[in-house]
């Protein structure tokens, strides 16, 4: 009799872009976000459990917007105490330029993370769509 394997943790599996159903195989074709033109290329299904990865509405655009706004707020949390913000000088403009550059640099990873959050919201652990028939 086989011993049940330990259930993988959700947060590390999501951050390392693993399948939401089995948490073993990678979801994206490339492990890196480079080349940028193919950073969102997803596999059709999981190699381990057969879970379908692509769907008609699998874009996670709203989640990406929310992550972008959260990053702008987190930039404000460190920028304000370090440099200060005032309407009397150009510090608000400097904050917006700095935050925009940081968000643009992080955007490929944020887009991938938003797709992973979308998948983890709609696919439960162990809900593989492939039926395994054993003799």
Of residues 127 and 17, which shows the higher confidence score?
17
Range with lowest mean pLDDT among 17-21, 96-100, 116-120, 131-135: 131-135
Quick check: 98 pLDDT over 90? yes
Quick check: 129 pLDDT over 70? no
pTM given for the model: 0.76
Structural domain span for residue 84: 10-122
How many structural domains does the chain have? 1
Long-range CB contacts (< 8 A, 24+ apart) of 13-19?
Answer: 14/113, 14/116, 14/117, 14/120, 15/113, 17/112, 17/116, 19/46, 19/48, 19/49, 19/51, 19/53
- Tell me the average pLDDT of the chain: 82
Does the residue 112 lie in any domain? yes
- Return the pLDDT at 9: 84
Does the residue 128 lie in any domain? no
């Amino acid at each position: 009799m086989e011993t049940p394997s330990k259930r993988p943790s959700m947060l590390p599996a999501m951050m390392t872009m693993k399948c939401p159903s089995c948490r073993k195989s990678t979801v994206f074709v490339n492990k890196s976000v480079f080349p940028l033109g193919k950073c969102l290329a997803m596999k059709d299904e999981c190699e381990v459990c057969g879970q379908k990865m692509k769907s008609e509405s699998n874009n996670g655009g709203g989640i990406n917007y929310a992550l972008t706004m959260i990053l702008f707020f987190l930039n404000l949390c460190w920028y304000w105490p370090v440099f200060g913000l005032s309407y009397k000088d150009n510090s608000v403009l400097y904050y917006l330029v700095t935050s925009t550059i940081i968000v643009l640099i992080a955007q490929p990873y944020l887009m991938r993370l938003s797709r992973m959050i979308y998948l983890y919201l709609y696919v439960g652990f162990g809900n593989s769509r492939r039926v395994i028939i054993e003799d």
